[in-house]
Amino acid sequence: MTIDFDNTYVDLPDRFYEACEPASFDDPEIVRVNEGLARQLGLDPEWLDSGEGAAFAVGNRVLEGSRPIATAYAGDQFGNFVPQLGDGRAHMLGEVVDDEGQRFDIQLKGSGRTPFSQRGDGRAPLGPVLREYLISEAMHALGIPTTRSLVAASTGEQVRRSDGPEPGGVLVRVARSHIRVGTFQYFAVRDDVDGLQELTSYALDRHYPDLEPEAPVTLFDAVADRQAKLVAQWQLVGFIHGVMNTDNMLVSGETIDYGPCAFMNAYDPETVYSSIDERGRYAYQNQPGIAHWNLSRFAGALLKMADDETAMQSKLEKVLESFPERLQASYEEGMARKLGFEEFREEDGELLADLLDLMEHHEVDFTLAFRRLAELADPAPDADRPEVGDSFAFPPAYDDWLHRWRTRLRDCEAPSAEIADAMREVNPAVIPRNHRVNEAIEDAVERGDYEAFHTLTEVLENPFEYPENHEELIRPPAPNEAIEATFCGT
């Protein structure tokens, strides 16, 4: 098996990365191969699923044409700037170009120590590897830009973590690039203007080829736009990233680094799952503001390239000021679609706010409430609709609101069946509920039983359809099933 690597990041100056080889593991085994993604990249899924594939997936076997590196970056972690982070447990194997000419990084995560490891062991426990696989692929199926998961493998060795030894794992991650806001900060804090300029043209060329090259403000505007859309999409499905540090924000606009992330069940804007986020910095309702703050840090890094600092600062600030509106516009557009409207009108603001208030007050499930609206919009729902569709009902307190919503729906021109269909395409029936994700991971890690992991992964490939015979994956947790905290586990 060969992979047609076409590496460009290694052609950047030496100080952008450290060349280093992945570790070696005695007994690697494949847990799951992403067949569709493998084919898209021109890789043979059957080979990936073999012993040789396992050796490749954990880094034992570095294929010809691969030039493994750990990339350098900095970042603001929970608001504190750390001038040097870098890939401490990840090896970028190289880049491949898919059948549509799109370029992707292939990276191993959990593949051993690098020159950036500091005191870390360079390893990843299997649990977080499975969580990232599951949730990143679920996000993709929900239509949200994200890094992808090609392979999850176990290493056969134990890693030591605070709760004792755990089985180790490696994730083969695929991303449009791994250029983070923190990558820019890395050069900015070193006053490395040449480095910043090289990175800017590289990022523009790779992600925004139609835009003016070498223009920091152009790049900033483009990234702000993608981040506005991205975070709006998170809000629309109730996704809580959990660690929105600037080193976890990509200039490509993909979601990256699935640590203690989770999806909201009952609507509560203060929802936080991450066990390390004690003050709720990265709570659901704070995500737009944090994205804005991260972009202000990005602007600060770009400003180091200015010839005329005042002029550039005012341009960057203008973009920055427009960010909350852009995000809000994207969110409202998405909410209009979720509610079945063609566009979001000014008066819809109140309708939406009242709905969210009711949801919060009655602790109503965010996902199922919107899905239910799709069903209520349909005058003649399919006779063969699975019964689970009825597992949710609005409390009577919604009657007045539902009446207002129906009245508003009458302004829409499309026939109601069409409206309902369009609503089903944006209101998922099933999301990766935290208690189910935890259960799947526990079965795998504690008992080597991967059935729940595979089932959940497969069901989440079609989140806009009710899965047959899996009502338990649709329903929100009963009070005794709820998992309130997720651990970084790194």
Burial of 343 (0-12, 13-18, 19+ CB in 10 A): exposed
The distance of closest approach from Cβ of residue 90 to Mg ion in the complex, given in angstroms and rounded to an integer, is 9
Nearer to ligand AMP, 87 or 332 (CB): 87
The distance of closest approach from Cβ of residue 151 to Mg ion in the complex, given in angstroms and rounded to an integer, is 19
CA-to-CA distance for 9 and 29, rounded, in angstroms?
29
Nearer to ligand AMP, 188 or 261 (CB): 261
The distance of closest approach from Cβ of residue 79 to Mg ion in the complex, given in angstroms and rounded to an integer, is 15
Per CB under 5 A, does 254 bind Mg ion? Answer: no
The one-letter amino acid at 322: S
CA-to-CA distance for 196 and 304, rounded, in angstroms?
8
Nearer to ligand AMP, 85 or 142 (CB): 85
The one-letter amino acid at 68: P
Phi, psi for residue 45 in degrees, rounded to 5: -60, -30
Per CB under 5 A, does 277 bind Mg ion? Answer: no
Residue 415 binding result from Mg ion, ligand AMP, none, given CB thresholds of 5 to 8 Å by partner type: none
Residue 490 binding result from ligand AMP, Mg ion, none, given CB thresholds of 5 to 8 Å by partner type: ligand AMP
Which of 146, 248, 271, 294 lies at the binding interface for Mg ion (CB under 5 A)? 248
The distance of closest approach from Cβ of residue 116 to Mg ion in the complex, given in angstroms and rounded to an integer, is 12
Phi, psi for residue 204 in degrees, rounded to 5: -65, -45
Per CB under 5 A, does 375 bind Mg ion? Answer: no
Nearer to Mg ion, 60 or 246 (CB): 246
Residues of span 61-120 touching Mg ion by CB under 5 A: none
The distance of closest approach from Cβ of residue 182 to Mg ion in the complex, given in angstroms and rounded to an integer, is 8
CA-to-CA distance for 284 and 265, rounded, in angstroms?
12
Residue 365 binding result from ligand AMP, Mg ion, none, given CB thresholds of 5 to 8 Å by partner type: none
Residue 120 binding result from Mg ion, ligand AMP, none, given CB thresholds of 5 to 8 Å by partner type: ligand AMP
Question: Mutual orientation of helices 216-237 and 309-339 as an angle, nearest 10°?
Answer: 30
Nearer to Mg ion, 221 or 257 (CB): 257
Residue 348 binding result from Mg ion, ligand AMP, none, given CB thresholds of 5 to 8 Å by partner type: none
Which of 76, 87, 254, 257 lies at the binding interface for Mg ion (CB under 5 A)? 257
Among 55, 57, 39, 43, smallest CA distance to 1 is for 43
Nearer to Mg ion, 76 or 225 (CB): 76
Longest Cα separation, the chain? 67
Residue 87 binding result from Mg ion, ligand AMP, none, given CB thresholds of 5 to 8 Å by partner type: ligand AMP
Q: Where does this chain bind ligand AMP (CB under 6 A)?
A: 85-89, 117, 120-123, 247-248, 257, 259, 490
CA-to-CA distance for 348 and 336, rounded, in angstroms?
8
Between the alpha carbon of residue 420 and those of residues 129, 157, 372, 474, 480, the distances in Å are 37, 50, 10, 19, 34
> Active-site residue among 87, 105, 247, 365?
247
Q: Where are the alpha helices (DSSP H) in 173-215?
A: 181-189, 193-207
Q: Where are the beta strands (DSSP E) in 26-97?
A: 29-33, 69-71, 75-77, 80-82, 90-97
Between the alpha carbon of residue 440 and those of residues 362, 436, 478, the distances in Å are 29, 6, 17
Q: Tell me which residue has its CB nearest to Mg ion.
A: 257
Helix (H) or strand (E) holding 330: helix 309-339
The distance of closest approach from Cβ of residue 109 to ligand AMP in the complex, given in angstroms and rounded to an integer, is 8
Active site residue 247: yes
Nearer to ligand AMP, 221 or 257 (CB): 257
Among 62, 248, 60, 88, smallest CA distance to 154 is for 60
Cα first-last separation, the chain: 32
Active site residues: 247
Name the site residues for Mg ion (rule: CB under 5 A). 248, 257
